[in-house]
Structure 1
């Protein structure tokens, strides 16, 4: 399955850029989110129509900045219609309305459908309120280095009973991902509906993928490759994961586990090992912390490591 390029598409009126929209886009970007925002995403000579179409199509959610300026624009209405159509086709809540100095009556007069959607009502100075509401609604949360270190330390301190429970959950994540990938691949390759590259076909592919993800309990942001893998490699990964959470790996096995998950099986090792979707990890240092966590958690005897590698999570 193709990974979504953007977490959020921001639809807005240009008049609201200086006071609210640009600061919002900058703050979301600073926190590590991938944003489709015209000033960031379009370059000189790029097609506005094509860029916006791809932005809407490849974003998990659309943030709609409803304002008096927004209501006056014809182009913003087209963006809203496109996002509403995407919601209907995928049967998911994708629109995140932000009421910027507007009343429920003004929103109703513009679009009765939007009044029924849970929104956040703000003044231009209340960026943190908007971002907190977005994170709460979507469940998308960029993980800081401190949070990841805390996660690793908590896994190192699990009792034997909790290690057993954690492994059962981990094993379920592995099975869910690879069963999903096999079913999705079989469906995709056995159907001749998608011989061309029309947008409607792409939407049907997205719809099928979303449906299967929901059935297998796989959250947004997990790295997924739509192809089956040999059962023996999957079972090898399960065995190494069990040794990992119980702290029974050798250094060689820890290296093998990393390579097996990330290279041979091309799967989301962060989600499998830590229950954190790949897209939540934005910083290179945060990535390195979780990779080193394979050793910190899974290998009891670390004497063979060079001193420079004995980092203390």
Structure 2
């Protein structure tokens, strides 16, 4: 009779050792994993707000974590998003009616708020919501200044985020630079 421990069908002691080795050898954190801003949004707001904002921030030299840039087939959503929030210095949260309906955005908000307790972290962008809407759902968030897409363009919002994330940056949206140039005489 064989004295070796029972193995599930198809699993040898060699494959068990391989899997154990893989679990113990997690990738080390590297500075390349760090990001300035994690963008949290509902998929319904991707094209109207999230992508243009990410594009403007990247153009200004801000490193951005956004699911469309980071997630690949086979990735664990929970792990990748958790890593993105952990590795980002700020969270740009696009609060909208669609945001409140989705389970993932609300999970991201919870994780970002937990990080907020450690210091300045959440940068709120209100898209199609009012202070009353936020007060009804998340009263603690109304204590922080937010930018509304109905009052500011995406470029203006990006400029204000850059001012917080990179306070020594001289970045201004192109439209603002063109407006400030003297007109030819």
Q: TM-score of the superposition, structure 2-length normalised? A: 0.70
Residues 20, 125 of structure 1: 8 Å contact kept: no
Say if 2:76 is the partner of 1:53: no
Q: Give secondary structure in 1 for the equivalent of 2:99.
A: helix
Say if 2:52 is the partner of 1:13: no
Residues 94, 127 of structure 2: 8 Å contact kept: yes
2:55 to 19, 23, 26: 26
In structure 2, C-alpha distance between the alignment counterparts of 1:65 and 1:21, rounded to whole Å: 8
Whose helix fraction is larger, Structure 1's or Structure 2's? 1
In structure 2, relative to structure 1, the CA distance for the partners of 1:122 and 1:14 (3 Å cut) is same
1:272-283 alignment, distance < 5 Å: none
Whose strand fraction is larger, Structure 1's or Structure 2's? 2
In structure 2, relative to structure 1, the CA distance for the partners of 1:105 and 1:23 (3 Å cut) is same
Q: Give secondary structure in 2 for the equivalent of 1:43.
A: coil
In structure 1, C-alpha distance between the alignment counterparts of 2:128 and 2:100, rounded to whole Å: 12
Task: Count matched residues.
Answer: 142
Aligned CA RMSD, in angstroms, stands at 2.2
Q: Report the CA distance between 1:137 and its aligned residue.
A: 2.8
Q: Report the CA distance between 1:50 and its aligned residue.
A: 0.6
Residues 122, 129 of structure 1: 8 Å contact kept: no
Residues 96, 119 of structure 1: 8 Å contact kept: yes
Q: Give secondary structure in 1 for the equivalent of 2:156.
A: helix
Q: TM-score of the superposition, structure 1-length normalised? A: 0.42
Structure 2 unmatched ranges of 5 or more:
1-28, 172-185
1:1-313 alignment, distance < 5 Å: 3=31, 5-88=34-117, 90=118, 92-123=119-150, 126-140=153-167, 142=169
In structure 2, C-alpha distance between the alignment counterparts of 1:124 and 1:15, rounded to whole Å: 20
- List, as ranges, runs of 4+ consecutive aligned residues in structure 1 with deviation greater than 2 Å: 1-4, 135-144
Q: Report the CA distance between 1:31 and its aligned residue.
A: 2.2
Structure 1 unmatched ranges of 5 or more:
145-313
For residues 38-65 of structure 1, give each alpha carbon's deviation from its aligned partner in whole angstroms, at most 9, with x where no partner exists: 0001112111111000000000000000
For residues 3-35 of structure 1, give each alpha carbon's deviation from its aligned partner in whole angstroms, at most 9, with x where no partner exists: 461000000000001111111112212222211
Q: Give secondary structure in 1 for the equivalent of 2:125.
A: strand
In structure 1, C-alpha distance between the alignment counterparts of 2:106 and 2:156, rounded to whole Å: 25
